[in-house]
Chains A and B, each alone.
Chain A
Amino acid sequence: MTATTHIPSRAPFLLTLWRDSNVIQKAAALIGLALVLMALLAPLIAPYDPLAQSLISRLRPPLGFERYKDGFYLGTDELGRDVLSRSLHGLQLTLGLALAGATIGLLIGGSLGLFAGLRRGWAEDAIMAAVDLQIAVPFTLLALLILALFGSSLTVMICVLGIAGWEQYARIVRAEVRKITELPFIEAARASGGGQRYIALTHVLPNIVSPLVVQFTLSLSNIVILESTLSFLGLGVQPPTATLGSMVGYGRDYMPTAPWMVIAPAALIILVTFSVQILGDWLRDRADVRLRDR
């Protein structure tokens, strides 16, 4: 404990967050915001229909190169589709899938962890054994198996991404719950007749929000990497629908002649994982500082 008293700032949360950040974190936040906006507005800002083919303008290079075709700023692919429009829609799908996957993981893992931490006994043992199993087996392998068995549809993909990170949430929530339930205020709530569910929802859950937010952000970047890897291998969402990963995967065959087909989506993937990971690390550091200040 330091001698000075900590005066809680009155400024809104996001504003203090912004003020405390360094240049890289600010840049990551802005890039992240820009990417989200681009994804949300993709149907409005994309100059063309991402699926519209045009055989006379196949494999045209981006702006500034020879044979550039007016209006196709990032060039066209092997079917004459606009790379910029496809990248924007791909970004939308990639981010959407990642959000869906991370949310499902949070819900499954969070509730199992909450259950394990509150119930104890064999239920806890069983859940933690499942967590250990998931940690022991490299998930990419399981994902290959699941996608091969159940087909590569959007639904299956979301399920795969949902199972991808649940064990981390389960572990964190269980550990936090065990720590919190030792505290006097839970005992007080129990003594005054609060039921299991009431205590879980009103006393325990609000106290573990912060580590969950951190884990959610960190897992987003892992899920983006997993999804784009699987799509890259041709096991993700099937064409003509494209995510950033599958654009890189299909563009690979045209790399010697049309590298722009690969560069735009690959660069977007890097921007996404970079900004998300920097934001996640930043949130984690902040959460730690909070704990220390207490």
Chain B
Amino acid sequence: MTLYILRTLLKMVLTLFAIITLVFFATRMSGSPLDTALGDGLSTEDRALMIEYFGLDRSIWHQYLAYLRGILEGNFGLSFIERRPVADIVAERIWPTLQLLGSALALTLVVSVPLGVVAALWRDSWIGSAVMGLAFIGYAVPNFVIATFMVLIFAFSLNWLPVVGNGTAWHFIMPTIAMSGVLIAALTRFTRNSMLDVLGQDFMRTARAKGLPETVVILKHGLRNAGVTVLSVLGLQIAGMAAAGNVVVEAIFSWPGIGELLVSAAIMRDYPVLQFGVISVAFAVVVINALTDIAYVVADPRIRMAKG
């Protein structure tokens, strides 16, 4: 098992390294930072300073190594627009994003686990089909369309909810729902499928044969076992989906988080911010994936044994 954990961690580090490399070369491929960022409005001294700062007179490999060294030393560069360290700008945005992610994940769990169980138990009746139909809708409708219609109805027509910002609890409602739509759809499907797998197992029959009430059988023996799979899915698939959804939803509701920062940096072409933002969100996703992987192996004795 130690070997497996080490291998997962090594793979994580390699992935992170590959992401940094990819982002660096993608940025340089599009042109020198001098031209892309600042254009002509640069004095000769400033130009010299920039060349000095980015090491633009050296080879691309030299610049790459310097960039890597900067990252290791915690120096991620300055924002073109705000002229402040990129790390500071991103750091300010973390908490609002975590709040939104937290409420979206909570809503997702609360809604989709019961729905998934229900869909599995009544899979042949209309209830099961109705739940899966809802899950399908969640998959097929893009979250910005959900958000747009919600804004149209609840903000502009009924005047119930605020559209912009994150001041009060009311501000959380629409962004949370818009973000959760696709997550709920995905997790409901996964819960249903892993529940269906578990329902056919021998230990369920044993539990019933022992005379346990059906609720106990379903919740304690069924859901608990299905839960392991559900949680691993939450870490592996939902993390990536949440990161992508977060970008869109924050931009729509002007939520002062990382997603909104990334979109505005992309529109303003503030490359240092965009680079660091993309790298740090990708880092978060990759690290969560690796940790989930490890937790999954540690938690389940069957896999623990198999993977040595």
**Chain A residues in the interface with B (C-beta under 8 A):** 129, 132-133, 135-142, 144-150, 221, 225, 228-229, 232-235, 245, 248, 252, 255-256, 259, 262-263, 266, 269-270, 273-274, 277-278, 281
A245 to B151, CA, bound (A): 16
Subset of 5 A-B contacts with CB under 8 Å:
A133-B15, A136-B286, A146-B26, A232-B248, A273-B141
> Which B residues from 103 to 149 make CB contacts under 8 A with A?
136, 139-145, 148-149
Do A269 and B142 form a contact, CB below 8 Å, given A140-B247, A144-B262?
yes
Instruction: Indicate if the CB atoms of B266 and A132 lie closer than 8 Å.
Output: no
> B161 at the A/B interface (Cβ < 8 Å)?
no
> Which B residues from 271 to 308 make CB contacts under 8 A with A?
271, 274-275, 277-278, 281-282, 285-286, 289
Do A145 and B285 form a contact, CB below 8 Å, given A137-B19, A138-B243, A270-B140?
no
Contacts of A142 in B (CB 8 A): 278
Closest CB-CB distance, B4 to chain A, in whole Å?
16
> B234 at the A/B interface (Cβ < 8 Å)?
no
Contacts of A266 in B (CB 8 A): 145, 148-149
A225 to B23, CA, bound (A): 24
Closest CB-CB distance, B35 to chain A, in whole Å?
12
A262 to B142, CA, bound (A): 14
Instruction: Indicate if the CB atoms of A229 and B142 lie closer than 8 Å.
Output: yes
Main secondary structure of the interface of B (DSSP, over half): helix
Contacts of A138 in B (CB 8 A): 240-241, 243-244, 281-282, 285
Contacts of A234 in B (CB 8 A): 267
**Chain B residues in the interface with A (C-beta under 8 A):** 11, 15, 18-19, 22-23, 26-27, 29-30, 36, 136, 139-145, 148-149, 151-152, 156, 240-241, 243-244, 247-248, 251-252, 262-263, 265-267, 269, 271, 274-275, 277-278, 281-282, 285-286, 289
Do A148 and B149 form a contact, CB below 8 Å, given A137-B19, A138-B285?
no
Closest CB-CB distance, B285 to chain A, in whole Å?
6
Q: B271 contacts which of A149, A262, A277, A278 (Cβ < 8 Å)?
A: A149
Instruction: Indicate if the CB atoms of A277 and B156 lie closer than 8 Å.
Output: no
Question: Which of A140, A141, A270: most chain B CB closer than 10 A?
Answer: A141
Closest to B269 in A: A148
Closest to A227 in B: B142
Instruction: Indicate if the CB atoms of A139 and B244 lie closer than 8 Å.
Output: yes
Do A145 and B266 form a contact, CB below 8 Å, given A136-B285, A138-B285?
yes
User: Nearest 3 pairs between A and B by C-beta?
Assistant: A140-B244, A149-B30, A148-B266
Contacts of B22 in A (CB 8 A): 133
